Amino acid sequence: MEIIKIRFKSAESFLEYYKYEEGHKLFCPTTTRLSEGSEVIVDLSFPELPNRAMIRGEVIWWRPALPRLRVRAGALIAVDENEADKIDFLLDVSEGNADKYHKRRYARLPVDVPVRWRPNESPEYREGDLNEISIGGALLKSHESLPIGTEIVLEFTLPGAKAPTSLAGRVTYTRDGLGNGIKFLYRDGGGSRRIREVIRRIQTEA
């Protein structure tokens, strides 16, 4: 999956390229030739944004630059419907409300990875999905909203892997309909290396 990095000069610049009236589409200035219908991740930022945002979408069209007509090279991306909360976040920040959001150390990669998980005190696993992941944490989608502070174990098998990967985490926030924010707990020296490898494998397989 192609990752397109876009650095807007300002929130106002971002809003100029966001096509709300056309159904959540974003024009991304890029000279990278993209195929119609291909899936991409837009890694975007602007000065007012506390954290880089990574958004999944599908290429509607790509065009080359036409300097004589002052037309920029770029692609029109249809934002994935599951990214609606991120769009709301970007629009809220663009309207001057950045102060109510905390700054993350790492940007989260949009993913769709089935997982099993369980609270530390329970031997019984539940089913869920990881919708975002970074070195620091993840977004767990499940049928349950977990109390903040709950420590859990996540288990998932990456494509091509012979054994499942287990990661420990703690719930840092929960939002109805959006999922549970998880902070990874590294209980041994190899924990961060393991999650970096997990993210590398996910990007390779995407």
Higher pLDDT, 187 or 46: 46
Domain map of the chain by residue range? 2-100, 109-205
Question: What band does 153 get if pLDDT is binned at 50, 70 and 90?
Answer: very high
Secondary structure of residue 121 in the 3-state scheme: coil
- pTM for this prediction: 0.62
- Neighbour tally for 168: CB within 10 Å: 17
The pLDDT assigned to 109 comes to 81
109-205 and 2-100 share a CATH fold: yes
Q: Where are the alpha helices (DSSP H) in 58-177?
A: 84-94
Phi, psi of 129 (to 5 degrees): -145, 145
Based on DSSP, count helices (H) and strands (E) in the chain, helices before strands.
3, 12
The pLDDT assigned to 102 comes to 59
Query: For the segment 50-103, what is each residue's pLDDT rounded down to a tens digit?
Result: 878 888 899 999 999 998 888 999 999 999 888 877 888 888 888 887 676 656
Instruction: Evaluate if residue 133 carries a pLDDT over 90.
Output: no
Question: What band does 152 get if pLDDT is binned at 50, 70 and 90?
Answer: very high
The pLDDT assigned to 62 comes to 95
> Options 2.60.120.620, 3.40.50.1240, 2.40.10.220, 2.60.40.1260; which CATH number does 2-100 get?
2.40.10.220
The pLDDT assigned to 98 comes to 67
Quick one: tokens of 169?
């985490």
Class in CATH terms, 109-205: mainly beta
Instruction: Evaluate if residue 206 carries a pLDDT over 70.
Output: no
Query: For the segment 169-198, what is each residue's pLDDT rounded down to a tens digit?
Result: 999 888 766 688 898 887 665 566 777 777
The pLDDT assigned to 35 comes to 94
